Amino acid sequence: MVRLPLTPAEVERGQRLGALLRRARGERSMLDIALDARVSPETLRKIESGRVATPAFPTIAAIADVLGLSLDAVWAEISRPEHGVGSTSSGHSAREQVTS
């Protein structure tokens, strides 16, 4: 099966996703988060670095759950490039929306 090249929008969305996950992880180790989410540390590293721009939904769901992020908040944040990485339409980060 031949995989089509990613569009610039997909690449940008993957970079926003990686930045969101890195911020949400904070000082916690990548290894601990990956093991708790039942994904390999290499997979988490690739997602956080933007090298895997379109990770599988169950992978993101598991990581988001471990980080305490709702999938709605994740989607809202990564789908709005005009608001920049780290903010949603309300001006609050996805992490702030989840915890408030």
- Distance between CA atoms of 100 and 83, rounded to whole angstroms? 20
Nearest-10 Cα torsion for 42, 28, 91, 98: 100
Pairwise CA distance, residues 68 & 76, whole Å: 15
Helix residue ranges, H only, 1-100: 8-25, 30-37, 41-49, 57-67, 71-78, 94-99
What pLDDT sits at residue 91?
47
Q: Say what the pTM is.
A: 0.75
Host H or E run for residue 69: none
For the stretch 22-65, pLDDT in tens is: 999 999 999 999 999 999 999 999 999 999 989 999 999 999 99
